[in-house]
Amino acid sequence: QVQAKTCTYRLVPPSPRFFKMRIVTHLKACNNINKSVCPPPKGEGIRYCHYQGCGRVGSAEAVAENLKTIRYAAEAAANNFKVHIITFSELFLQGYTLTMQDVQNLAEEVGGPSLAKVASFAKEFRVAIVIPFAEKATEDGVVKYYDSMALFSNEGVLMRTYRKHVLWGPEEKAKFSPGVEPFETSEVNGVAIGLANCYEAEFPELARAYALQGAKLIMYPTAADVWEWVEFPKKDENGRFVPGTGEKTPKPYPDVSKTCIPARAVDNIAFVAYCNSYGVETDMRGNPMMEFLGNSVVADPHGQVVVRAPHHMETLIVVDCIPSEFKSFHPRKSHYLENLPHAVREELHAVDKRLRTE
């Protein structure tokens, strides 16, 4: 039996900043008085967590502030709920609204100092961490930048670096190179997981590539927005935006948490997590840089959204993802992956092979 509840917790350790953070849970019942301390056993499922918050952007000071948030969220999730993995929204380490100059100044190599701190948090709190970040890499003597994610095990070991393949819009394409690495699953608590990024949730082929490798949880950190700057405002002598200058996007990003995310879950008989931020991202001077939709959700393998974060609240989502509880919902045990036409399977494998060799 799965029990779901939404409530406000007093977390351990306490913090004034996180005192009223909303906790949305969907946890399997167990015999322990404190049900939240009974995560699924190894090989049976994953206790997944996502932090929906709002970080800072655009400076070394912002990165330092974001690292404090990452540490506290990981500690709170591990100590209060014994989660196996926690993830953060797209580019959370340095912030999403980066200029090209910001990317060049703040992007880190995989072994960089900020990522080393995240690895130490994973080891300290015994929780796997997915941290999206701006990556700097030198390839054949050429410096490139990627919209990436690092997955650290609960021992602080780097398990995977995923680079966003399908970049969104002219802004991302101007700042980052597309990833070309194959889609490979990783294992957390004995269960296969897949990583993809924001806009890529709108491409069914990517999730299917993971599902064919046995992924039971697919995670999409995102930065879907209410608005962002098309043209940044002018600044005064104190570095603050001048009211009435600049231009914002004319409409919000589509809320794919209500469309694509449940569809990806049904398509692949897998849990699918969409991991956004909420509120207004600011630089260290308080300038508003963009506003996030705050539409974090987890859909189960039958396409039902089992948890949805409040749009305008800092939230920890905690979900027990137990694949064995979700068989095919078709009569006579029909299963999408088993019945996938051979030609489609061959095409997906050909795409994967091509990515491996390019």
HEC per residue, the chain: CEEEEEEECCCCCCCCCCCCCEEEEEEECCCCCCHHHCCCCCCCCEEEEEEECCCECCCHHHHHHHHHHHHHHHHHHHHHHCCCEEECCCCCCCCCCCCHHHHHHHCECCCCHHHHHHHHHHHHHCCEEEEEEEEEEEECCEEEEEEEEEEECCCCCEEEEEECCCCCHHHHHHHCCCCCCCCCCEEECCEEEEECCHHHHHCHHHHHHHHCCCCCEEEEECCCEEEEEEECCCECCCCCECCCCCEECCCCCCCHHHCHHHHHHHHHCCEEEEECCEEEEECCCCCEEEEEECCCEEECCCCCEEEECCCCCCEEEEEEECHHHCCCCCHHHCCCCCCCCHHHHHHHHHHHHHHHHC
Residue 291 falls within a domain, yes or no?
Answer: yes
Q: Give the distance from CA 38 to its chain's centroid.
A: 24
Give the domain CATH number at 62. Answer: 3.60.110.10
Query: CA-based angle 132:125:15, to the nearest 5?
Result: 85
Residue 18: domain span? 9-326
Residue 151 falls within a domain, yes or no?
Answer: yes
Query: pLDDT 10s per residue in the chain (358 long)?
Result: 344 444 445 555 545 555 567 888 888 765 444 555 689 999 999 999 999 999 999 999 999 999 999 999 999 999 989 999 999 999 999 999 999 999 999 999 999 999 999 999 999 999 999 999 999 999 999 999 999 999 999 999 999 999 999 999 888 999 999 999 989 999 999 999 999 999 999 999 999 999 999 999 999 999 999 999 989 999 999 999 999 999 999 999 999 999 999 999 999 999 999 999 999 999 999 999 999 999 999 999 999 999 999 999 999 999 999 999 987 777 766 666 666 666 566 666 666 566 555 5
The partner residues of 87 in beta bridges, in order of sequence, read 50, 130
Residue 69 falls within a domain, yes or no?
Answer: yes
The pLDDT assigned to 18 comes to 55
Q: Give the chain's domain count.
A: 1
The pLDDT assigned to 55 comes to 93
Residue 343 falls within a domain, yes or no?
Answer: no
The pLDDT assigned to 188 comes to 98
The pLDDT assigned to 3 comes to 45
Residue 183 falls within a domain, yes or no?
Answer: yes
Residue 350 falls within a domain, yes or no?
Answer: no
Which amino acid is residue 196, in one-letter code? A
Phi, psi angles (nearest 5°) of residue 194? -130, 150
Residue 40 falls within a domain, yes or no?
Answer: yes
The pLDDT assigned to 33 comes to 42
Query: Residue 268: is it exposed, middle or buried by C-beta count within 10 angstroms (0-12/13-18/19+)?
Result: buried
Residue 332 falls within a domain, yes or no?
Answer: no
Q: Measured between alpha carbons, how far is 352 from 358 in angstroms, rounded to an integer?
A: 10
